Amino acid sequence: MSERPQLHRNRQTLSLSLDSSLIQSCMSLSDPDELVLDYTRTMMGFLLLNPAPRTVLMIGLGGGSMLKYLYRHVPSADLTVVEINQDVIDMRHDFHIPNDDDRLRILCADGAAFVASPPCRYDLILVDGFTGAGMPEALCSRSFYQRCREALSPVGVLVANVQADTTQSRAIGQRLTKAFEGATLQVESDEGGNDIMTAVADRQLMEDAADGFGERWAKLAPVHQQTLAVTSTRLERALQKGRRAP
């Protein structure tokens, strides 16, 4: 990768960008594990489908916001992060990302190639890989999303962050729908500019979450309820819309 990550610091936050003014990641200096950007909180909506994933693959590291949240608040999760840009990985300590240990590893590799031959099946795959120009084509293709489905466990969930309302995002939505046989959801982030697309290996996961939303919400840890508070209505609406017609 030729793009050089840039750090931007003010009194409250540290942000990361890649060869453009587009902010890729943002960290609160007073609470480094907080999910500052709404799209990252919206991606945590998977917790209503599977609150305790055991194997997690993340494609794209950025400032590690979601990684830190999962590492701290989802202790059941074994975390593998694939980041193609070594310069981004080298900034991990600026963003207070934990060192690799027995439940966390960060690899410098191509995410599309990695998911084509995964070492295991994953309960959760988070796709948040961007260059300064947007999503790379390798993370948008029909074959990529088909391989993601094949890399999921029977209870697996895929969550992808894409730019909202573009020709590319509409194509990704169609490819996800085809790869997952319609078992998909789409939620726009509150900030605008990002669509969060979710797909499940077993459509029954969506059905159960839609039918028992209130019960599932009540069982979430308080920290997850706080994280999802702003987006909960959008998530519930998307689940109800995604239900199989009777």
Active site residues: 128
Q: Which pair of structure tokens corresponds to residue 180? A: 């997952």
CB neighbours of residue 188 within 10 Å: 18
Q: Which pair of structure tokens corresponds to residue 38? A: 């709404």
Give which of 72, 63, 44 is closest to 5, Cα–Cα: 63
* Sign of the Cα pseudo-torsion (4, 135, 189, 116, in order): negative
Task: Round to whole Å and give the CA distance between 105 and 27.
Answer: 21
* Contact call for residues 223 and 187 (beta carbons, < 8 A): no
Task: Round to whole Å and give the CA distance between 105 and 72.
Answer: 15
Burial class of 25 by CB neighbour count within 10 A (0 to 12, 13 to 18, 19+) = buried
Would you give the distance in Å from CA 122 to the centre of its chain? 13
Query: What HEC string does 59-107 produce?
Result: ECCCCCHHHHHHHHHCCCCEEEEEECCHHHHCCCCCCCCCCCECCEEEE
